[in-house]
Amino acid sequence: MRITTNMMYDRSLTSLMKNSERFSKALEQMNTLEKFSTAGESPNGMAQKLNLTAEIAKYKQYAANGTDLQAKLTQQETTLNSIHTTLGSAYTKVQQVVNGTNTDVDRETLATELEELQKQLYDLMNAQDENGEYLFSGNQSQTQAFTKDSNGNYIYQGDNGQRFSQVSSKVTIASNDPGSQIFQQVATERSATATSGNIQVSVDKASEFNSFYGQKYDSAVAANNNFSVVTTAGTPNTYEIRDAANNVLQSGEYKQGEDISFNGLNVKVDVAAGGATQTFSLDAPKNDNVLNSLSDMISTLRDPSATSDDIKALASKTETHINNTQDSVNRTMGSIGGRMNNLENVLASNDSLSAIKSESKANISELDIYDAITNVTKENTALNMAQQAYAMVNKTTLFDYM
């Protein structure tokens, strides 16, 4: 085979171009630290890289969602804690209401103080986040949670909805709690009503009666909420309090016109022993927000015709409603605490999974800096040698061998 000068030149030039190309690629890899930049260089590797990149992006979004969720839950928890504290102050003021030595001036002072606490609660129950969204309006976050109507009643304007944040592929966590659940659906003091002419019934010990009410009240069959007091003449006279099924719930000595203590109720029967059976029933449950109970208390304190007994009875109901509201707030704060703990665990798991995905991606597509430098040095040496060979071939002629 005859080797011509053109053949030598072409081969040297081809070798030079290939070495130059490899050197450029090595430089690019060193600058980007990527093993490949197109699917043509590594189809399988590029597919894995793109899949892992998408997975890592999801974890970054979950982390952003988690940070936003944590801020929302923290603000809600802080607001509820302030509400709980304000309710405690209101409870203390209501306790002072029943002081038998209060003058008209004292009543007005207490009414004014309760009014200020009511305003604080109203503002807190209508708290907004940094975006102007109401914390306790459910899904109607642009609607003020509580407003005052033309009759002076505080009404809930939001809905019962909850919003959720996606914090992992399979986990969503509630980011809010509707005011209907926390404040509006709170039991006022339960009550009972006399249903015959010679009996009086009133709540004496609210907590005891509420417990009894919770066990006995039947929302499905109204007749099951009826009770009777049967008296019997004898030595001594006796009474029996029976439920709708005629079961005897309590019995004892009967004295006409004297109070009978029955599961937190004061029951006063004014008939001769052996007289007509007297009856009473449990009233249907009522729920309301505590703002309206405070309004009733404030109005009664400012009513000059209100007797001490009127004020005492209303104070008992208001105390119960405040306690029930505090319990509701406590339950919600407990729920928020549980969600925050769950969020913390999920985000920690996400961080670990994201790190694993990132490491897998690096193993597939990323180049170690030291390997990249070594490769550049190697390809640079090869390019220099190719350039020297090309230069020698380019100036070679047959005259050099004659």
Q: Is the Cβ–Cβ distance between 384 and 7 less than 8 Å?
A: no
Closest to 23 measured CA to CA, from 380, 374, 371, 386? 380
User: Quick check: 35 pLDDT over 60?
Assistant: no
pTM equals 0.73
pLDDT one-digit tens code per residue, 120-175 = 999 999 999 989 999 999 999 999 999 999 999 999 999 999 999 999 888 999 99
| Alpha helix stretches (DSSP H) within 185-265 | 206-216
Mean pLDDT across 315-324:
90
Cross-strand pairs, 366: 34
Mean pLDDT across 5-22:
59
Burial class (CB within 10 angstroms; exposed 0-12, middle 13-18, buried 19+) of 309? exposed
For residue 37, give both structure tokens.
């930049």
DSSP string, 272-309: -TT---EEEEEPPP-B--HHHHHHHHHHHHT-TT--HH
Distance CA 84, CA 81 (A): 5
Return the pLDDT at 65: 93
Distance CA 26, CA 20 (A): 10
Return the pLDDT at 17: 62
Compute how many other C-beta atoms are within 10 angstroms of the C-beta atom of residue 313. Answer: 16
With a CB cutoff of 8 Å and minimum separation 6, the contacts of 373 are: 30
User: Quick check: 45 pLDDT over 70?
Assistant: no
Range 192-285 has CATH code 3.30.110: no
In the chain, what are the domain boundaries?
Answer: 55-188+292-352, 192-285
**Tokens 């109070």, residue?**
259
CA neighbours closer than 13 Å in the CB half-sphere of residue 132 = 2
Q: Is 367 left (phi over 0), alpha (psi -120 to 50) or beta?
A: beta
Return the pLDDT at 41: 60
Return the pLDDT at 402: 43
Closest to 111 measured CA to CA, from 301, 314, 311? 301
Cross-strand pairs, 147: 155
For residue 358, give both structure tokens.
């990132």
For residue 106, give both structure tokens.
């004292």
pLDDT one-digit tens code per residue, 248-292 = 999 999 999 999 999 999 999 999 999 999 999 999 988 999 999
Return the pLDDT at 28: 60
Residue scoring higher pLDDT (160 or 54): 160
Element (H, E) at 266: strand 265-269
Burial class (CB within 10 angstroms; exposed 0-12, middle 13-18, buried 19+) of 219? exposed
Is 192-285 in the same CATH topology as 55-188+292-352? Answer: no
The CATH homologous superfamily to which domain 55-188+292-352 belongs is: f41 fragment of flagellin, N-terminal domain (1.20.1330.10)
